[in-house]
Amino acid sequence: MNRFKRLFVLALTTICLSLLGHTYILYRFFKDGLLFTGPNDGIEQMVPIQMFLYRKWSEGTFFYATDFGLGGDFFTDLSYYFSTNILFIINASFIWLFAQFNALQTNDVMFWMTNALVVSIIKSALIIIVTFLYARYLKLNHVTAMLFAFLFATSPIYYRFTVYWPFFSDVFILLPLLFLSIERYLKSGKIGLFMIVTALTFIN
């Protein structure tokens, strides 16, 4: 029970810190309608690609589409962007699941721009968690480890990546995990986590 309580407190703390890190963005979003998607690549590529992949996957088409240009293997061509992105696949799966019970406007561009903000908050919380665990593994105390994790998750580079090229900001999750796995291997000789993180990095 104590372990469950600690996990709950950690999850709640990271969500609160993530929301704190997005305070200004949320304020501008609700007050001025400021979008959390950048111009050029963000609006012209990232959002349409996500919409296209979600629509095709929802239809049961996972690899080839006749309306992809003159017809082609969209899974391979879009693997640089989102088709092999773990977080996007999980996100799309949850959207599809909720869409079965609620009338989500997945064909609306604004839905995906709003979704980008929600995903960023969740991603930031994950960054704080994995960075906190890495810092604790380095024997930092709880407060210092959490501060270290929060500052890392609120890096301006994170927001820049997330606004323009959201798949790039996944490195903020993978990098602390990689460092943690290396430290774990050097101290205990256990290489399993390193292999998993490396595989996820290549897939992603």
Domain residues for 142?
11-203
Does residue 3 lie in a domain region? no
Is pTM beyond 0.75? Reply is: yes
Rounded CA-CA distance 129/16 in Å is 12
Does residue 55 lie in a domain region? yes
Does residue 5 lie in a domain region? no
Does residue 176 lie in a domain region? yes
Q: For residue 99, what pLDDT is reported?
A: 87
Does residue 110 lie in a domain region? yes
Does residue 2 lie in a domain region? no
User: What average pLDDT does this structure show over 159-177?
Assistant: 90
Does residue 193 lie in a domain region? yes
Residue 103 has φ and ψ, to the nearest 5°, of -85, 75
Number of domains in the chain: 1
DSSP letters of 108-159? -HHHHHHHHHHHHHHHHHHHHHHHHHHHHHTT--HHHHHHHHHHHHT-HHHH
Q: For residue 144, what pLDDT is reported?
A: 94
Q: What is the CA radius of gyration of the chain?
A: 18
Which of 107, 120, 118 has the alpha carbon at shortest distance from 167? 120
Instruction: Report CA dihedral (187, 193, 198, 204) to the nearest 10 degrees.
Output: -140
Q: Is the per-residue pLDDT at 60 higher than 60? A: yes
Q: For residue 36, what pLDDT is reported?
A: 66
Does residue 52 lie in a domain region? yes
Q: What kind and span of H or E run contains 73?
A: strand 72-73
pLDDT digits (tens, 9 = 90+) for 62-99: 888 888 777 788 888 888 888 899 999 999 999 999 88
